[in-house]
Chains A and B, each alone.
Chain A
Amino acid sequence: QQQVKQSPQSLIVQKGGISIINCAYENTAFDYFPWYQQFPGKGPALLIAIRPDVSEKKEGRFTISFNKSAKQFSLHIMDSQPGDSATYFCAARGENFNKFYFGSGTKLNVKP
């Protein structure tokens, strides 16, 4: 059973548009929620992260919205650019600050 559920599986957005990727979790013990960006042939790279005591975090064009009561969080990419085309993974940190549970990934294609 997947601990973190991510949607959509793929997303096509026009340049300048807003990309939204959603994740949901069940385990209320999760204490840290990062998003990773992965380009083809590369390893995932930490993009932005949030803790459950904060409802929103913004870094440049990237924003995480966090809804603790609904156990959902989402990544918003404003003014999406072709260079943002990549696979995005949400994750949640579990026990002992070691175990990260990843969503299944969203392949984003930003069309010029």
Chain B
Amino acid sequence: NAGVTQTPKFQVLKTGQSMTLQCAQDMNHEYMSWYRQDPGMGLRLIHYSVGAGITDQGEVPNGYNVSRSTTEDFPLRLLSAAPSQTSVYFCASKRQGGDGYTFGSGTRLTVV
């Protein structure tokens, strides 16, 4: 049982480049979310999804795009990377009616 799998683990981007952070879960969880973690800021919600085809914005959605075509996958896209997006990104999932989220191991992104 792999849980929540995030790829890549590390990434360096140049300003203006685009990329997609991958997230996949094998627990058949309906709910999935993307958080970013910055020192002294805790975890902040970027986007979330309650099921395939349904997404919504969190606290800090600007500069990020998501889609949910399947229950298993919830990729996060950076269209034009900026240094302010340097952070550690976590994907998380939970079942409908469940309480706490299960987190992936994170992607450390540096934008130079």
Contact of B99 among A34, A41, A101, A104 (CB under 8 A): A34
**Residues B31 and A98 in contact, CB atoms below 8 Å apart:** yes
Give complex CA distance A48, B8 in Å.
Answer: 29
- Point out residues on A near B: beta carbons under 8 Å: 2, 4, 6, 9, 32, 34, 36, 41-46, 49, 89, 91, 93, 96-105
**Residues B50 and A6 in contact, CB atoms below 8 Å apart:** no
**Residues A42 and B105 in contact, CB atoms below 8 Å apart:** yes
Contact of B43 among A46, A93, A96, A102 (CB under 8 A): A102
**Residues A43 and B100 in contact, CB atoms below 8 Å apart:** no
Query: How would you classify the secondary structure of chain B's contact residues: helix, strand, loop or mixed?
Result: strand
Subset of 5 A-B contacts with CB under 8 Å? A43-B4, A43-B90, A44-B103, A46-B102, A102-B43
**Residues B45 and A6 in contact, CB atoms below 8 Å apart:** no
- Point out residues on B near A: beta carbons under 8 Å: 4, 31, 33, 35, 40-45, 48, 50, 56, 58, 90, 92, 97, 99-106
User: Known: A89-B43, A104-B41. Is A99-B48 also a contact (CB below 8 A)?
Assistant: yes
**Residues A46 and B101 in contact, CB atoms below 8 Å apart:** yes
Closest 4 CB pairs of A and B: A43-B103, A46-B100, A102-B42, A102-B43
- Chain B nearest Cβ from A103, distance in angstroms: 5
**Residues B40 and A41 in contact, CB atoms below 8 Å apart:** no
- Chain A nearest Cβ from B11, distance in angstroms: 15
